[in-house]
């Protein structure tokens, strides 16, 4: 790739692009447009009954055709001029590329010559400058100095001529570049004119593009939350993950309605909002009804339950409530509230040591174990004081105090592998494929 640039900043190299490919593609589109128009005329004649064909098959075709010929003609009237525009652009691109091949070669030669002349001029100027002053009475010394000065002057003149030659090549190149730029703009205007009023996106199509970007971002957020659920867990991560899952499901359903997502995408989006760690309860006696209820509650319970636990925690840390119902002094109530705020915080049980527990028992298992243990560490009096204020945390404590059944742990582990594994591995595979060549619409790439 040449680093030589014109005075207008254009890189001196032949424009890329398969000119003949653009011409051929334009001819194909132009021919297709003519065929569409011809077929539309035939369909119109059949629909109007102007053709001489008779029979049940023709009558059936006539009934099915209706006004389809009008849409087919409209499509043909878009394709034909679009193909013509592309052929014209391809031809102009070929001419510009042919001219540029010669100009680029000449410009590189001119630059090489200029570099040589500049080096010679610098040497001549230095030789003349470093020569000792001639003796005014020595004709030979005076003549030698005159020749040195003349050589320096001639060398600088050669530099000026070489610069003029290179500038001339730059001007030729910029002229061809302008010709291509004008041809490109003309092609874009021609394609726009050919489709103006015929092809347009409604606001839902524009919104779909935005939703696709949002879903891509949410996918990466989901990966981060999946990792956070393993390492941190707890109600805070759970509620954020549930909200992200619901938004992703709504967006996926919208894109499915627009034909931009398939049923497989919708199915995985539904799986994404199903409560993690609840599947195993279906395999444990006495918990099946609870599991069904939680599955039916779906994302609502996944959001509401952590929020209720966070709200209950706020009530536990209110010294006034503890003092009123527990016969505690002001200092004792404040001390207990401070301890509860620390021991019952939403980040209890976070860290690597509870990763296995969160996989086997659900993302909040580590939190439940820690809360249950911290509750058990309270004195009997303090347990009686805070029990009326536990609210949604009561289930957390009772659940954390019970072991996870083997069948439930196996089911939850499999569920984790399917849901989280697919999400994370999908992103890893996407990252690994970033360097792979992506399929493109060839003629659009060539036109650009």
Three-state DSSP class for residue 11: strand
Mean pLDDT of 365-372: 79
Among residues 319, 361, 325, the alpha carbon closest in space to that of 338 is found at 319
In whole numbers, what is the pLDDT of the chain averaged over residues? 78
pLDDT at 433: 52
Q: Which residues, in sequence order, are CB contacts of 196 under 8 Å at separation 6+? A: none
Three-state DSSP class for residue 227: helix
Q: Any alpha helices (H) in 196-316, and if so which ranges?
A: 203-231, 234-257, 263-273, 288-316
Q: Between the CA of residue 164 and those of 46, 107, 110, 111, 308, what are the distances in Å?
A: 70, 11, 9, 11, 81
Give dist(CA 109, CA 103) in Å, integer: 10
Q: Which tokens belong to 397?
A: 């404590």
**Per-range mean pLDDT, top range of 38-52, 174-188, 233-247, 362-376:** 174-188
pLDDT digits (tens, 9 = 90+) for 102-117: 999 999 999 999 999 9
Say which residue, 221 or 358, is predicted with more confidence. 221
pLDDT digits (tens, 9 = 90+) for 129-148: 888 888 888 888 888 888 88
Whether residue 437 is predicted with pLDDT greater than 50 in this model: the reply is no
Give dist(CA 405, CA 284) in Å, integer: 7
* Ramachandran category for residue 49: left, alpha or beta (phi over 0 → left; psi -120 to 50 → alpha): left
pLDDT at 86: 92
Among residues 124, 132, 119, the alpha carbon closest in space to that of 148 is found at 124
Percent of the chain residues past pLDDT 90, beyond the cut: 21
Give first-to-last CA distance, the chain, whole Å.
19
- Predicted TM-score of the model (pTM): 0.48
Q: How many residues does the chain have?
A: 448
């Amino acid at each position: 790739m040449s680093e030589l640039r014109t005075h207008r900043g254009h890189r001196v190299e032949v424009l890329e692009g398969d000119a003949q490919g653009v011409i051929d593609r334009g001819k194909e589109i132009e021919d297709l447009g003519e065929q569409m128009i011809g077929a539309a005329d035939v369909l119109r004649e059949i629909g109007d009954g102007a053709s001489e064909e008779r029979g049940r098959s023709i009558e059936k075709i006539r009934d099915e055709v209706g006004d389809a010929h009008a849409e087919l003609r409209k499509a043909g009237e878009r394709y034909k001029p679009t193909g013509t525009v592309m052929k014209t652009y391809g031809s102009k691109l070929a001419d510009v590329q042919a001219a540029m091949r010669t100009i680029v070669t000449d410009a590189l030669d001119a630059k090489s010559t200029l570099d040589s002349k500049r080096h010679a001029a610098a040497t001549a100027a230095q030789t003349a400058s470093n020569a000792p002053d001639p003796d005014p009475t020595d004709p030979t010394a005076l003549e030698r100095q005159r020749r040195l000065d003349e050589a320096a002057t001639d060398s600088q003149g050669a530099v000026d001529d070489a610069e003029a030659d290179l500038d001339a090549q730059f001007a030729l190149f910029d002229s061809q570049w302008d010709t291509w730029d004008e041809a490109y703009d003309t092609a874009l205007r021609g394609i726009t004119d050919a489709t103006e009023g015929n092809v347009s996106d409604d606001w839902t199509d524009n919104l779909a593009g935005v939703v696709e970007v949002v879903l891509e971002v949410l996918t990466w957020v989901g990966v981060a939350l999946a990792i956070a659920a393993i390492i941190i867990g707890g109600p805070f991560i759970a509620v954020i993950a549930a909200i992200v899952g619901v938004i992703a499901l709504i967006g996926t359903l919208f894109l499915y309605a627009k034909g931009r997502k398939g049923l497989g995408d919708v199915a995985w989006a539904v799986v994404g909002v199903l409560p993690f760690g609840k599947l195993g309860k279906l395999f444990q006696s006495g918990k099946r009804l609870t599991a069904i209820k939680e599955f039916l509650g779906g994302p609502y319970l996944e959001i509401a339950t952590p929020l209720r636990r966070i709200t209950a925690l706020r009530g536990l840390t209110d010294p006034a409530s503890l003092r009123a119902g527990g016969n505690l002094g002001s200092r004792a109530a404040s001390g207990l509230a401070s301890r509860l705020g620390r021991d019952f915080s939403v980040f209890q049980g976070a860290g690597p040591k509870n990763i296995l527990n969160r996989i086997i028992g659900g993302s909040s298992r580590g939190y439940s174990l820690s809360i249950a243990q911290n509750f058990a560490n309270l004195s009997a009096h303090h347990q009686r004081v805070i029990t009326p204020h536990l609210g949604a945390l009561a289930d957390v404590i009772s659940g954390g105090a019970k072991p996870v059944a083997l069948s439930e742990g196996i089911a939850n582990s499999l569920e984790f592998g399917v849901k989280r594994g697919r999400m994370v591995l999908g992103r890893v595979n996407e990252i690994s494929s970033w360097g792979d060549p992506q399929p493109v619409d060839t003629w659009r790439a060539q036109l650009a």
